[in-house]
Amino acid sequence: MPKLATPAGSSATRQAKILIALLFFSTLINYLDRQTLSMIAPVIRKTLSLSAIDYSHIVFAFLLGYTLSQALAGSLIDRIGTRTGMILCVAVWSVAAVLHSLAVGVVSFCVFRFLLGIAEAGNWPGSVKAVSEHFPPERSAFAVGLFNSGSSVGAIIAPPLVISIVQQWGWRSMFVGVGASGFVWILLWQKFYRAAPGQTLERPEAATSQIRFGTRAYLQSRNVWGLMIGRFFADPVWWFYAFWLPEYLVKSRGFSLANIATIVWIPFAFAAVGNWAGGHVSGFLLRRGFPAAASRKAVMVCSAILMLAGLPAVRAQTRFAVIAWISVVLFAYSSWAANILSLPADLFTPREVGRVTGLSGTGGAIGGMLFTLLTGWLVQNSSYTPVFAVACGMIVCAAMAVTVLIRERLPVAALLDAESAGALERSP
């Protein structure tokens, strides 16, 4: 593994390692907080007499807050700074997580999940901003990969940790304990975080101009639409397994809470491997001279084919086969995700990457919200079988959108510059 280093000497190297460790744990806590509900959904549904549709509304509330906050969180952190912005986001989502212990029904759960989604959306723009401030461009992608691995680790440790707490002290105490971990992180962040020297804020006039005129230019790009539509159809597959898998295994496969604790981490471990494998294969093709977009799309199409393993998963006869097929799906999804998240940097100039990533993420979150509501309705009125079938159909649509719409680099920068120049000419 390459060493994590910066060009500023040993002191800066040590600070860089501390920064990445802090961002890794904020990401881990972020994912742990959102996974707590899905891990014990069967218990809460039984205790509070919640239907499948009620549960889908609770998941929808989180995704709604997450969607609305994606574009706003980055702007807020740009305005108040990385240090304060991360503290604010972690504090709000930790409070929201603790408040889950007071929930008494679907409405209160929806309110707390909505608040959790709003705050948790700030982790990635805040973390990426911190990396951009402390690392040169040639090291930033590796640093982002390191802190982002906290999401996979969070998914792996969530089942045994969450369920063991529930079995010992109950689900309300579990929300308090997991939520409180964020306040410990804040103390460490305040103690160890150091701002990079020479940071400057963009002039508000320039930022306003880009926000006002840039988005319209991006929406004229077929590459942007390819990314948005691709994530609109593909991201819901991840949200489905992240939020509904424990519920499915208990209700439809006869798993107990103890089984969930010892088994559900396995597909997410395969997902962690898929992140590395997908990036490695497309990188291999790039080194062999294949164009960037073609390399990414080749891996994504193969990953989409593997994700069709959801069909044999829902028809599998044994528990081992169910977990094996679902592990294939999550491995393939992570391989897909590693490449679609890399495409903005391949297709656009550096100053366009953040906006394009935000737009594509918004498309994915909207798809997740709609599919969550559909899942609740299908489970309530039919079964999980049509849900798995629809998910496979959506993957096919995602692969088609990416294949047809995305081409090699077609930068929006020139159009953005033209619009910005026009804005300046019109200004008094």
Least confident stretch, 21-35, 127-141, 240-254, 263-277: 127-141
User: Which range of residues forms the domain containing residue 30?
Assistant: 12-201
Q: Are residues 258 and 405 in the same domain?
A: yes
Q: What is the pTM of this model?
A: 0.73
> Could you read off the pLDDT of 354-366 as tens digits, one per residue?
667 777 878 888 9
Nearest to 36, CA basis, from 217, 134, 135, 182: 182
> Could you read off the pLDDT of 80-107 as tens digits, one per residue?
888 898 999 999 999 999 999 999 999 9
| HEC assignment per residue over 391-414 | HHHHHHHHHHHHHHHCCCCCCCHH
To the nearest whole number, what is the mean pLDDT of the chain?
Answer: 81
On the 0-12 / 13-18 / 19+ scale of CB atoms within 10 A, 353 is middle
Interatomic CA distance for residues 307 and 329, integer angstroms: 4
Nearest to 23, CA basis, from 162, 151, 213, 202: 151
Q: Are residues 195 and 248 in the same domain?
A: no
What is the 8-class DSSP label of residue 195? P
pLDDT band at 113 (very low <50, low <70, confident <90, very high): very high
Q: Are residues 192 and 238 in the same domain?
A: no
Per-residue pLDDT at 41 exceeds 90:
no
> Could you read off the pLDDT of 393-408 as tens digits, one per residue?
999 999 999 999 998 7
Establish if 51 belongs to a structural domain: yes
Q: Count of domains in the chain?
A: 2
Establish if 416 belongs to a structural domain: no
| HEC assignment per residue over 320-380 | HHHHHHHHHHHHHHHHHHHHHCCHHHHHCCHHHHHHHHHHHHHHHHHHHHHHHHHHHHHHH
Residues with Cβ within 8 Å of 317's Cβ and at least 6 positions away in sequence, in order, are none
For residue 10, what pLDDT is reported? 62
Q: Are residues 184 and 241 in the same domain?
A: no
pLDDT band at 189 (very low <50, low <70, confident <90, very high): very high
More confident residue, 365 or 428: 365
Q: Are residues 87 and 44 in the same domain?
A: yes
Q: Are residues 90 and 167 in the same domain?
A: yes
More confident residue, 352 or 133: 133
Nearest to 233, CA basis, from 325, 347, 309, 337: 337
> Could you read off the pLDDT of 125-159 as tens digits, one per residue?
777 777 767 776 445 545 666 677 777 788 788 88
Q: Are residues 245 and 188 in the same domain?
A: no
Per-residue pLDDT at 377 exceeds 50:
yes
Q: Are residues 281 and 196 in the same domain?
A: no
Per-residue pLDDT at 352 exceeds 70:
no
Instruction: State the average pLDDT over residues 268-272.
Output: 86
Q: Residue 279 is encoded by which pair of tokens?
A: 């990036």
135 SS3 class:
coil
Establish if 206 belongs to a structural domain: no
For residue 269, what pLDDT is reported? 87
Q: Are residues 70 and 25 in the same domain?
A: yes
Q: Are residues 243 and 149 in the same domain?
A: no
What is the 8-class DSSP label of residue 101? G
Q: Are residues 118 and 47 in the same domain?
A: yes
Establish if 25 belongs to a structural domain: yes
| CATH number of the domain enclosing 378 | 1.20.1250.20
Q: Do 166 and 174 contact (CB within 8 A), yes or no?
A: yes
Per-residue pLDDT at 5 exceeds 90:
no
Share of the chain above pLDDT 90, in %: 37
Establish if 406 belongs to a structural domain: yes
Share of the chain above pLDDT 70, in %: 82
